[in-house]
Structure 1
């Protein structure tokens, strides 16, 4: 990009040794820092990420949101802060090279936060399970009814202005992270929109959709988060 924006990337990762080098490789070279939050992995995720050129921070407490918060703390410690932060997963299901699609509305002043929507984009067959598809539909429908927030997906691939992200005062340490961000962005009046993204089958087994416990745990937390931030 020729926008002059300072862009950092945050990737929470738990046992992604096979996929993380591919993710880092496909991130555009105009990104300043790629920060991998190693979420107590028992494999060589950290070593593979470092070999690929990323910065690795360690978070021993398991939890998607907890890992993201730890990566944010590292960014806060830097003398020069980014303009924008991009979040994506470490399982190679997202296409990092599509990052510019998410950043363009911010560059043009049309948005403070952009969600990469798998519902609007192209999904490889089998890349999302039926519980995932239904869960996204249910969560976005409830957000519309209860919050008045218009979304089609809770996709992890997203970008947001750094200062706006800090203003959201994110708290959730696990499955509610993405939906907390979307609800708070709506409540605080951020300009947000979605762009279609491509989605493929992940490398390895999902820690959420790959287990019955993960599916029900994530579903429960997402619904709980929606009602937690309900403003009458």
Structure 2
């Protein structure tokens, strides 16, 4: 991002985290200094995720009911109570698969070009070998193809690394509490007429085992929820 084009805005980050004690500290440490709050939502972890995140300087919230969307909603509820609301909210995972340092590239279209929503696309960026399983790659391809056919939405990925204007996010009235969170946001954004774009982001193998793509139950659950969400908002 060109410093000459930068305007003073408030940026907050929400990171859902379930048993990520070995990764979440690294994620927090690499988030650019332009961020106001790094909010880690400890999603009923049974390891030291909370302790590590707090030590790294994050605001740590506890959400005892597991669910990716549930954790994101908890982070949003916290930000809604702030005296000064953020201008932009960034979501990313706690497993160190995303590159937090690429955040400036992610938010640039919002700051410089006026977009409402920016998706960090792993499909357009460089993926480390083994960073995405075959079901993940196929699931993203199928979901984005169906979004195009059903909603004329032009996305290449359902990537978790994304940025959105806070007031636009609130207006979407997000409700999904688990696997459908990302696609719900994208479908609702298109239906609400939000301006959106994608930027290429790099992606590496996560630290530890995935709670979704690493299990058969997770793969089936995510696939079902994505298809159900598309049908629900058709």
Structure 1 counterpart of 2:213:
209
Whole-Å Cα distance in 2 between the matches of residues 105 and 39 of structure 1?
31
Structure 2 counterpart of 1:58:
62
Structure 2 counterpart of 1:39:
43
Structure 2 counterpart of 1:182:
186
Aligned counterpart for 1:153 among listed residues 154, 157, 177? 157
Whole-Å Cα distance in 2 between the matches of residues 90 and 156 of structure 1?
10
**TM-score (ref. length: structure 2):** 0.97
Whole-Å Cα distance in 2 between the matches of residues 30 and 162 of structure 1?
16
Structure 1 counterpart of 2:124:
120
Structure 2 counterpart of 1:74:
78
Structure 2 counterpart of 1:167:
171
Structure 1 counterpart of 2:199:
195
Q: Does 1:88 align with 2:92?
A: yes
Q: CA deviation at 1:225?
A: 0.3
Per-residue CA shift, 1:150-203, capped at 9, x if unaligned? 100000000000000000000000000000000000000000000000000000
Q: CA RMSD in A?
A: 0.7
Q: Does 1:24 align with 2:21?
A: no
Aligned counterpart for 1:131 among listed residues 118, 128, 135? 135
Task: Give the SS at the match of 1:10.
Answer: strand
Q: CA deviation at 1:3?
A: 2.1
Q: CA deviation at 1:147?
A: 1.1
**TM-score (ref. length: structure 1):** 0.98
Q: Does 1:103 align with 2:130?
A: no
Pairs aligned (count): 230
Structure 2 unpaired stretches of 5+: none
Q: CA deviation at 1:110?
A: 3.5
Per-residue CA shift, 1:10-54, capped at 9, x if unaligned? 000000000000000000011000000100000000000000000
Whole-Å Cα distance in 2 between the matches of residues 175 and 25 of structure 1?
27
Greater CA drift, 196-205 or 107-116: 107-116
* Structure 1 runs (4+) greater than 4 angstroms displaced: none
Whole-Å Cα distance in 1 between the matches of residues 206 and 127 of structure 2?
11
Structure 1 unpaired stretches of 5+: none
